[in-house]
A = this chain, B = another copy of it.
Amino acid sequence: MKLQILGCYAATPRTLTNPTSQVLEIRNHLFLIDCGEGTQVQLRKNKIRFSRINHIFISHLHGDHFFGLPGLISTFRLLGRDKELNVYGPKGIKEAITLLMKLGDSWTNYQLVFHELKEKRPVLIYEDDKVTVETIPLDHRVYTNGFLFREKPSDRKLNVEAVGKYNIDKAYFRNIKSGNDVILDDGTLVPNEVLTFDPVAPKSYAYCSDTAYRPELVPQITGVDVLYHESTFLETEAHLSGKTKHATAKEAAAIAKAANVGTLILGHYSTRYKSIDLFKEEATEIFPEVELADDGKVFNL
């Protein structure tokens, strides 16, 4: 699992800071999460192949999470894309994109599928044999979802030596990797744990931006390996966080601690602060495993 930050600053794109967008590589998928203005250029700068993006998740319809999407959809068209593109986002996203395509008489020549969200409880929005994605309802000024990405458990790993020792035919390997025992020709049962090793534990990633402090989300994200939680402000600006429905670094850390996550990644920083290190300092007082997102940064998880 690999997370590549394209942009992680609040409000407006600036010369050296980009609004929110990130790419999660998970079991060979490349999921694009949010798409602020300039995301397509950030994709190029970070050498991400456009053709590998088939699913885009939009948390909410504020410009700094969404205004790069019309251009990206348009660029996919100009690049001759033919693969289906799936967009998951709040109700209204289809109307907006469709209107822009209509006004420019620029319809995509690939299938563009919108999955509009309006539920206020967690919903499974994507599933295949390798991963699931569900919404994490957040508390912001407009309807907003985070997203919880979970790998499904992998097959168990074959113990080649043990399988050879019992002279088991290849035809059974798939069955063994799925966790089944084997009964030999002489009737002996060989338990699965003798024939396999544990697989790599499935990883999970919770993306929570934008949101006010929201302890209600703790049960859903408890135990995730990595939590990205917005920290627009420091505690010194706590009076702004309530009004704007954003969180402080301290609040993000409190969520991480209560949910017992592996690592907390902070982001969505207001640009009013001199250094983003201040966010880490504040958060580590509550929760030790803190990382700072930054534009262009890659986390190998």
Contacts and interface: CB of A to CB of B under 8 A. Distances in A.
A12 interface: yes
Given A38-B38, A100-B96, A104-B61, A12 B74 contact: yes
A103 B15 contact: no
Contacts of A141: 105
A96 B61 CA distance: 14
Nearest to A92: B103
A40 interface: yes
A67 B74 contact: yes
A75 B14 CA distance: 10
Copies of this chain, tallied across the complex: 2
A63 B67 contact: no
Given A70-B67, A71-B67, A104 B62 contact: yes
Nearest to A18: B41
Interface residues of A, number: 36
A274 interface: no
A13 B71 contact: yes
A45 interface: yes
B92 A96 contact: no
A162 interface: no
Interface of A: 11-15, 37-38, 40-41, 44-45, 60-63, 66-68, 70-71, 74-75, 78, 90, 92-93, 95-96, 99-100, 103-106, 141-142
Given A62-B106, A67-B70, 12 more contacts: A12-B40, A12-B74, A13-B38, A13-B40, A14-B44, A37-B38, A37-B67, A38-B38, A60-B104, A63-B104, A93-B103, A96-B103
